[in-house]
Amino acid sequence: MSVGIIVTGHGKLASAMLEAAEQIMGSQKNTAAVDMHREDGESVMRDKIEKAIEEMRDRIEGTLILTDLFGGSSCTLCLSLGRDMDVKILCGVNMPMLLRALTYKDLLPLDELADKVYQAGREGIVDAEERLREACLFSRG
């Protein structure tokens, strides 16, 4: 069994992130992007998220929802859904998180996957110049 992955966020962020991830990793099953638009009311947004979960429910064991912003409308809605469904919600999604989720969604149970994805998000934020300086220092011995 697999964990379902849903990416949600403001504007077209979610669909753009999933599209980019699939360019890197190929087409993915049991995934969905739920874009939230300014004109969407709360009931429309809730329906979108519930529909995404429902469409993969019989093929998954739990759902990991990656939202763009803690406290944002999609985060708040997902938190209210989480009381009735087997979901984990991580906020502040970035590409390393999504790639890690897609890599391990068929290998780990929901709780372990969420931990691994959370760690990838933290590790994926890098000061590029500092990292390069460190690499140069270590390569000199």
- What is the full per-residue pLDDT of the chain (141 aa) written as tens digits? 799 999 999 999 999 999 999 999 999 999 999 999 988 888 888 889 889 988 998 899 999 999 998 767 776 777 777 666 789 999 999 999 999 999 999 999 999 999 999 999 999 999 989 888 888 876 665
For the record, the structure tokens of 122 come out as 């933290």
- Which residues have C-beta within 8 Å of that of residue 74, sequence separation ≥ 6? 8, 9, 10, 34, 36, 45, 49, 67, 68
Q: Confirm if 98 and 21 have CB atoms less than 8 A apart.
A: yes
Q: What is the CATH number of the domain that holds 19?
A: 3.40.50.510
Q: How many domains does the chain have?
A: 1
Range of the domain at 7: 2-140
